[in-house]
Amino acid sequence: MDIAANLKPSPRGDLEITDVNRVYLECGELSVEIMGRGYAWLDTGTPDSLLDAGEYVRILEKRQGFKIASPEEIALRQGFIDAAGMECAIAGLGKSDYGRNLRGILAEGE
């Protein structure tokens, strides 16, 4: 089923993910989960809202001392990769802040 091909653009000229979700829901092909505390949905459909979202993430990371949605960290903590896999991922990051952050996560697990 090619849902997007059958959608009409919204008044602002975009295809809306909400319309795709509605079609899946009507077909019984969508399950919904209510997000609890600690989750945030940020609409980044405009340059200003994208900038706001980036600032939000920057502030949270700075105040809480951890990265938001680091795929490598998540993979390590969920057991999808081991320490060697993490080291392989880190190798291409050089001396970047992100690489240093991942090295710290790896070191705390040793």
pLDDT in tens, 84-104: 999 999 999 989 999 999 999
What's the domain range around 61?
A: 35-65
Query: Mean pLDDT over residues 64-75, rounded?
Result: 91
Distant-in-sequence, close-in-space partners of 91: CB < 8 Å, separation ≥ 6: none
User: Does 71 share its domain with 110?
Assistant: yes
Query: Mean pLDDT over residues 75-82, rounded?
Result: 95
Q: How many domains does the chain have?
A: 3
pLDDT in tens, 9-51: 888 888 888 899 999 999 999 988 898 888 888 989 889 999 9
Q: Is the pLDDT of residue 53 over 90?
A: yes
User: Does 80 share its domain with 110?
Assistant: yes
Nearest by Cα to 39 from 11, 25, 60, 65: 60
Question: Residue 110 and residue 106: Cα distance in Å, rounded?
Answer: 7
pTM, full prediction: 0.63
User: Does 20 share its domain with 50?
Assistant: no
The tokens of 24 are what? Answer: 């899946």
